[in-house]
Homo-oligomer: A and B are copies of this chain.
Amino acid sequence: MEYDLSNADICNAYTRVRSETEQLINGLSSEDCQIQSMPDASPTKWHLAHTTWFFETFILLKYQPHYTVVDEHYAVLFNSYYNAIGAQYSRPKRGLLSRPTLDQVMEYRKEIDTRMTAFIQQLRDSNILKLILLGLNHEQQHQELILTDIKHALSQNPMHPQRLKHYEFQDRQSSSLNWHSYQGGLVTMGASTKAFSFDNERPQHQVFVAPFKLANRTVTNGEFLSFINDGGYQNSLHWLSDGWEFVQSEAINSPLYWHQQGNQWFRYTMSGLQPLNLNEPLCHISFYEASAFASWSGKRLPTEFEWELAATQSVTQAPQFDPMTLEPSVVEEDNLQSLLGGVWEWTNSSYLAYPGFKPFEGDAGEYNGKFMSGQFVLRGGSCFTPTGHIRNSYRNFFYPQQRWQMSGIRLAADLT
């Protein structure tokens, strides 16, 4: 990697990112921060501790001479999946760790922050600085997970608790759906080494892309409701075989968090149960639902390369993260502005290694590479993604049945 970092830059970034994480627990009780609603999700408290453990384990313990850990139990409790580091506490049981308490975890954060800022200031090794930058990007990923996970956890409560007090109905008309055309050809995909990126975005490489067109915005709640009302969930011919099995066995007939009461549709939001806004971008659907909707529409999902090509050729800019909103904005523009920072967009690309892929060196090698089977790529970031954490080459990845992320649909089609 070719870019340079100063100690001061990193120190400032460290302080900012760590503080932004802690702002996310405003309005949550210690009980809210404790609960884990499913194996895929983690308690807020665990995220707070794990991101801290990441710095302690990958930086301080490794590069600070004679380092003594804050609590030796944390090596097991807060290791997510790094087998090279050691054993891990059972993932589905993270919600059972009432100790350390939230207060103790916040003290742990404070202690590591003190140690880290001191460590950064005297640091001379740019490789370690880059590793700290990885830790900050890692923490930003967990910021988004804190939000998606607590949303899922609170949604389990029939009281429909509000994390945010206020909900503003976006009383605006969505732009009509139209299409942008691309001629494709042999294009360069992936992240350059001139700025931070994850290993899975690299190396840059050539891909041949056939001509295609892409929708100006993602699918709205209203459009998806038409699919539902047309019997979309009951017609096997729109569905991938695995997807049909999924919706049948799980008795799924609407996006996650949608509730029908009489003839009225509601949606659980961070501000409690709210009437469904037909103009808002659809989110919280699985890849299977995205694929079925695309088939019903006579269109298809884009590949991740089609998406990246369109993003590269546009002037889209990601919106600022706003912790007080947490709903994707109604798209009123016709200019692909919504490619970034609205909802994560399922692509029809499996999450696989780029040609020449090299995992991060050392223990961080487990960061991304070992997940390269069974998942699909999502692109574009969402309104839950922190400011500065969205870029054109970013590859998010989830299993096709997962729905608790801010995942939506942008349609594509062959250009013929």
Contact = CB atoms under 8 A, between A and B. Distances in A.
A115 interface: no
Interface in A212-244: 236-237, 239-244
Of the listed residues A37, A89, A96, A353, the one surrounded by the most CB atoms of chain B closer than 10 A to its CB is: A96
B371 A241 contact: yes
B210 A356 contact: yes
A89 B158 contact: yes
Contacts of A365: 237
B356 A348 contact: no
A349 B353 CA distance: 10
Given A242-B374, A373-B287, A373-B400, A84 B237 contact: yes
Contacts of A243: 373
A255 to B, nearest CB: 19
B31 A102 contact: yes
Given A30-B30, A240-B372, A356 B414 contact: yes
A77 B157 CA distance: 9
Contacts of A76: 158
A205 B208 CA distance: 9
Contact of A370 (B35, B239, B376): B239
Of the listed residues A242, A376, A414, the one surrounded by the most CB atoms of chain B closer than 10 A to its CB is: A242
B98 A153 contact: yes
Contacts of A154: 98-99
B373 A96 contact: no
28 contacts: A30-B30, A31-B98, A31-B99, A31-B101, A34-B35, A73-B158, A73-B159, A77-B158, A83-B244, A84-B237, A93-B156, A96-B153, A96-B156, A97-B156, A97-B157, A99-B157, A186-B186, A205-B210, A237-B365, A240-B371, A240-B372, A241-B371, A242-B373, A287-B373, A349-B352, A350-B350, A356-B414, A356-B416
Interface of A: 29-32, 34-35, 37, 45, 73, 76-77, 81, 83-84, 89, 93, 95-102, 153-154, 156-159, 161, 186, 205-208, 210, 236-237, 239-244, 287-288, 291, 300, 348-350, 352-353, 355-356, 365-366, 370-374, 376, 400, 414, 416
